[in-house]
Structure 1
Amino acid sequence: MKKLIVSTVLAGSMLLSGCTMWDDTVTNFKSNTEGLDRKITVYSQTGEVIAEYEGKNVRTEVNDGGQLIINLNGKRVQVLNANVIIEENTAE
């Protein structure tokens, strides 16, 4: 009986502490399947804005070579050797 109570308390605390992890998992799944409303700004090494991308169905991934791949409105953009800021637009 004591083991059951300890196990229940431990499992409950793990679930409560994992809420952020669960939210991240859901966001990653949504990003990979339907895309997210995002704004992406690409900067040069000197800090100048090279390009900006924005849309409601934006998917991003980083490949093995470190390239950022942006899928936006059926177009694919690859970014190399640049600083990138990806902002998710959330409506709450």
Structure 2
Amino acid sequence: MGILSWIVMGLLAGALAKWIMPGKDPGGIIVTILIGIVGALIGGFLAGLLGIGEGRAVDFDLGSLILAVIGALILLWLYRKVAGRPA
């Protein structure tokens, strides 16, 4: 995927993660995109460890989006635990 695809995937994944796990978090759209992009990396890594993917999000498809959202949810949960905010 190109950089623009990663940004769009990150925005979608971060927005879906924040929709699934609502709460007050600092930051706006940039933080949401970053959570989504890093979430895609985490989701792809975990999928590779479990043997259900290539270990990375290579295509802009539903499977990659689901992996990115799962990774973003994990990242958002960890962020809230470290920051001391309720999850």
Rg bigger for which structure?
1
TM-score under structure 1 normalisation?
0.24
Higher-helix-fraction structure: 2
Q: Which has the higher contact order (CA 8 A, sep 6+)?
A: 2
Higher-strand-fraction structure: 1
